A = this chain, B = another copy of it.
Amino acid sequence: MSADPSPAPTAAPAAGEIGLVEARDFHSRQPFAFESGQTLPGFTLRYETYGELSPTRDNTILICHALSGDHHCAGQHAGDRKPGWWNNLIGPGKAVDTRRFFVVCANVLGGCVGSTGPSSVNPETGQPYGVAFPFVTIRDMVRSQKLLLDHLGVASLAAAIGGSMGGMQVLQWGIEYPLFTKRMLAMATTARESAQAIAFNEVGRQAIMQDPAWNRGDYPREGGPRVGLAIARMMAHITYLSDASMDRKFGRRKKDTADRTGNSFDVQFEVESYLRHQGQSFINRFDANSYLYITRALDQFDLAAAYGSLEQAFAPVLGETLVLGFTSDWLFPPEQNRAVALALLRAGKRASYAELDTDLGHDSFLLESPELYDLVRGFLERSEKRVSDFSI
């Protein structure tokens, strides 16, 4: 591994805001064995940190991102209009308080925003790996993140926090590194990808792989199956919202430019325009092969199958868990979140489940919600003494 020479940028942030941040790269130089048995000679994780590691090195919060997320979860990149994707949750004085916690977030292994993935150059060929990249699992993502945290000198996690695929990583953290992981906060997630969720992933993959430009995964960096990836994203985006929120946000409103007779297959409704925009902006920031790999990692996630039962999966867990479900989430519905907490309780672990009444669908975990902030804050502050009972 190599240390990162680039220092964090300094700037005068707005009150309560992190201000300017920059990503860094962690290069692991030791061979990495994937769960599949395949190996890489090393890998890179692109990551960001906010706040300071405490002298006791036990104030770290790891943020785990979802399918289309990345390491830039808070603060501002120079020149960007928007802050990181979870900036409403993370910052000085916010629910994840960077005055107190050292927050780390890394783009996942297999991703395409700086971390090693199928779009990275295979040193053996000088070409992108494409589908020669090893298959990635949620556990592989977690194990690679552990090497990053070791490199940063982190002694233990005050918490791992994530929604959706991030929540899967959080659960895997508690299982894989029980002494290290003091708290798990998993939102809008599941212990097993359902048939319906696999089905949506498969349609997205087919849209990509049936696009002639996919070319069995072999395409130039700026090319590739842009049409297929946009279709996959448009469809997936519907599953992140809810019927009610789409009705409120768009309803049946028509675009000003729409043919008022409806006699056109061009954009008629605002919701069509919105979806097309989602598809188009996605293809400029995401790699189609990464989409295949990461959706496959989601599909393969099934803790009960991997460990014999959900209770056996959670048997090693030492940390305390809070699972949050959202009433309008139909991709990873409340029942699936509740089932995680119940299995932890049956396994004799400290776990709670809370359900937030939102109509924003799966993406509810990303949205501004004082109720959510209070639950996160309370979970991070409570019972520190008891959690530290098993500290090494």
Give the chain B neighbours of A192 by CB distance below 8 A.
252
CA distance A265 to B131 in the complex (A): 9
A208 CB → nearest B CB, Å: 9
Give the chain B neighbours of A207 by CB distance below 8 A.
207, 231
Chain A interface residues toward B at CB < 8 A: 36-38, 131, 135, 192-196, 198-200, 202-203, 205-207, 209-210, 212, 227, 230-231, 234-235, 238, 241-243, 246-247, 249-252, 261-263, 265, 268-269, 271-272, 275-276, 279, 292, 296, 299-300, 302, 305, 330, 333
CA distance A145 to B212 in the complex (A): 42
Q: Are A234 and B203 in contact (CB under 8 A)?
A: yes
Q: Which of B38, B242, B299 contacts A262 (CB 8 A)?
A: B299
CA distance A299 to B275 in the complex (A): 15
Give the chain B neighbours of A263 by CB distance below 8 A.
36, 38, 135
Q: Which of B227, B241, B261 contacts A36 (CB 8 A)?
A: B261
CA distance A268 to B262 in the complex (A): 41
Q: How many copies does the complex hold?
A: 2
CB closest residue in chain B, given A209 = B265
> Known contacts A195-B247, A243-B196; is A299 also within 8 Å of B238 by CB?
no
Q: Are B210 and A227 in contact (CB under 8 A)?
A: yes
> Known contacts A195-B247, A247-B196, A299-B262; is A272 also within 8 Å of B202 by CB?
yes
CB closest residue in chain B, given A361 = B196
> Known contacts A247-B196, A261-B135, A292-B265; is A235 also within 8 Å of B302 by CB?
no
Give the chain B neighbours of A333 by CB distance below 8 A.
243
A115 CB → nearest B CB, Å: 20
Which applies to chain A's interface (DSSP): helix, strand, loop or mixed? helix
A271 CB → nearest B CB, Å: 5
Give the chain B neighbours of A261 by CB distance below 8 A.
36-37, 135
A199 CB → nearest B CB, Å: 5
Given A131-B265, A202-B269: 17 more A-B contacts, CB < 8 Å: A38-B263, A135-B262, A194-B243, A194-B252, A195-B249, A198-B271, A198-B272, A199-B275, A200-B238, A203-B231, A203-B234, A206-B230, A206-B234, A243-B330, A243-B333, A252-B305, A265-B292
| 14 A-B pairs whose Cβ atoms sit less than 8 Å apart in the complex | A36-B262, A131-B265, A135-B261, A135-B263, A195-B249, A195-B252, A196-B246, A198-B252, A199-B234, A199-B271, A203-B238, A210-B230, A252-B302, A268-B299
Q: Are B238 and A271 in contact (CB under 8 A)?
A: no
CA distance A203 to B231 in the complex (A): 6
A188 CB → nearest B CB, Å: 15
Give the chain B neighbours of A271 by CB distance below 8 A.
195, 198-199, 202
CA distance A247 to B300 in the complex (A): 15
| Residue among A36, A192, A202, A269 with the highest chain B CB neighbour number at 10 A | A202
Give the chain B neighbours of A269 by CB distance below 8 A.
195, 198, 202, 299
Give the chain B neighbours of A199 by CB distance below 8 A.
234, 238, 246, 271-272, 275
> Known contacts A209-B265, A268-B299; is A238 also within 8 Å of B198 by CB?
no
A182 CB → nearest B CB, Å: 31
CB closest residue in chain B, given A336 = B243
CA distance A234 to B206 in the complex (A): 9
CA distance A294 to B198 in the complex (A): 28
Give the chain B neighbours of A238 by CB distance below 8 A.
196, 199-200, 203
Give the chain B neighbours of A38 by CB distance below 8 A.
263
CA distance A242 to B199 in the complex (A): 11
Give the chain B neighbours of A302 by CB distance below 8 A.
252
Q: Are A206 and B231 in contact (CB under 8 A)?
A: yes
